[in-house]
Amino acid sequence: MHHIAIIGSGPAGYYTAEAAQKHWGDDVRIDIFDTLPVPYGLIRTGVAPDHQSIKGVSRRYEATALNENVRFVGNVTVGSDVSMDELRELYDAVVLATGAPNDRPLGIEGEDLGNIFGSAAFVGWYNGHPQFAGLDPDLSGKNAVVIGMGNVALDVARILAKTEAEFAGADIVTHALDALRVSSLQTITIVGRRGPHQIMMTPKELGELMHLDRATPRVDPADLPEEAEDAILEPGLRKSVAHLRSFAAIPESERADKAIEIDFDMFASPLRFLGEGKVTGLEVERTKVETGRAVGTGETYVIPADLVVSCIGYRSSPIPGVPFDERAGRFANDEGRILPGIYCVGWARRGPTGTIGTNRPDGFGVVEKIAEDLTSGALGAGGKEGRTGFNALAEQRGLDIVTFRDWKKIEEAEAKAAREGAPREKFVDIEAMIRARG
């Protein structure tokens, strides 16, 4: 019997469990640990609340979770409730599927001013992550600045721009919907340090900006290269750039009846935040792109900002004793192998890139490495205690484990509490989640 511990119950964790289940069948026991009492990680707290079809993938994870050999061990934090060393003693392999939950800082002056947030915090706020539910951003100003030209920046801009009616069917938490309902925002500026050919935004997501009830996108035609130059782009990026071109072509007459403008400010590198106590502006330096890199031109200007959300990427959380690549912000690994018996997968392995589906081959890849190492004897002689040993430890420590069955009760309670038309109203604090299991 092989015993595998997976730390983190997001997409990378569940795809790894699915792969291990397929590989070893009845010869494996898989425990999936999570700090939260609820599973699915980024599907629950990262994917935008108005993108319910993407969240549907959790049904696939549920099919894995309901397998006899797989169990969810919620409300347990590796590092405080149980150590990595203890897990290594108990399981043949420990797989870190912990994602990249921390905001990468910009590292510029004024970053600690009020009403400036990283996207992990801001997205966590509107998605009801217990750590960020109390963020309380002030949306009473006119100008929001969203830094970064990736899909997270697009998510944040779109959520800030939508009307209450456009959240029908979304699982945005009520505290965020209440705040957005009374928001006074008129301009949402998306700031990118490079140009149209370097955006990381994907076409489907970019196209959504054309269909917002009260907001319209704006691109300065002068920022666009000659159309013929788009020919060298790979097809996805070419489609995204085509969207930017159509934003630039929107006639002023069509903008008049829209209350909010989503303004793309490209070739603008953040220099410093202005304000006293609270942010009032972002000073940027005009750039030009040379061999793919943003190079400052010396020209600076200030973008008014009452709210800032920085969407420039994420970092994983290091674990004492586990080699970490500080520069890349993820675990130091060789194709998922970190140390004998310790592996990583998903964003914890490769950094915060790719779609949810990218994690599936990652999960199958790491299981292949574990299988090779089990066969070669690199993981020792076996005979580990696995979950029996963990259960004894948990009992001794009085850990209050939340099981998958408990989660189903929490899920039911969230569905019951939903606004009309919404799939769920999430509990946003851990105590409430635990109480809901009955």
Residues annotated in the binding site for FAD, as ranges? 12, 42, 78, 347, 354-356
By CB under 6 A, tell whether 148 contacts ligand NAP: yes
Select 39 or 270, whichever has its Cβ closest to ligand NAP. Answer: 270
| Stretch near ligand NAP under the rule CB under 6 A, chosen from 23-31, 82-90, 196-204, 321-329 | 196-204
By CB under 6 A, tell whether 437 contacts ligand NAP: no
Which residues fall in the annotated binding site for NADP(+)? Answer: 193-194, 205, 354
Q: Are strands 293-304 and 278-290 parallel, antiparallel or unpaired?
A: antiparallel
Sign of CA dihedral 151, 100, 349, 3: negative
Select 52 or 198, whichever has its Cβ closest to ligand NAP. Answer: 198
Alpha-carbon distance of 103 to 97, in angstroms, equals 17
By CB under 6 A, tell whether 193 contacts ligand NAP: yes
| Contact positions with ligand NAP (CB under 6 A) in 249-278 | 270
3-state secondary structure of 56: coil
Select 201 or 401, whichever has its Cβ closest to ligand NAP. Answer: 201
- Whole-angstrom CA distances from 209 to 20, 116, 354, 366 are 40, 23, 21, 37
Shortest CA distance to 18 belongs to which of 84, 79, 66? Answer: 66
By CB under 6 A, tell whether 158 contacts ligand NAP: no
By CB under 6 A, tell whether 208 contacts ligand NAP: no
The DSSP symbol for 278 reads E
By CB under 6 A, tell whether 147 contacts ligand NAP: yes
**x/- string (CB under 6 A) for ligand NAP, residues 297-326?**
--------------xxx-------------
Select 264 or 404, whichever has its Cβ closest to ligand NAP. Answer: 264
Burial of residue 56, with CB atoms counted within 10 A of its CB: 0-12 exposed, 13-18 middle, 19 or more buried: exposed
Alpha-carbon distance of 2 to 384, in angstroms, equals 8
Computed on alpha carbons and rounded to an integer, the radius of gyration of the chain in Å comes to 23
**Of the candidates 332, 353, 380, 429, which one interacts with ligand NAP according to CB under 6 A?**
353
Are 275 and 141 spatial neighbours (Cβ–Cβ below 8 Å)?
Answer: no
| Stretch near ligand NAP under the rule CB under 6 A, chosen from 132-140, 145-153, 327-335, 384-392 | 145-153
| Stretch near ligand NAP under the rule CB under 6 A, chosen from 77-85, 163-171, 194-202, 211-219 | 194-202
Select 130 or 313, whichever has its Cβ closest to ligand NAP. Answer: 313
Alpha-carbon distance of 414 to 423, in angstroms, equals 8
How many Cα neighbours within 13 Å face the side chain of 44? 23
Helix axes 174-181, 151-161, angle to 10 degrees: 60
| Stretch near ligand NAP under the rule CB under 6 A, chosen from 84-92, 247-255, 348-356, 409-417 | 348-356
**Of the candidates 225, 355, 397, 416, which one interacts with ligand NAP according to CB under 6 A?**
355
Give the binding site for ligand NAP (CB under 6 A). Answer: 106, 147-153, 155, 192-194, 198, 200, 202, 205, 270, 311-313, 352-355
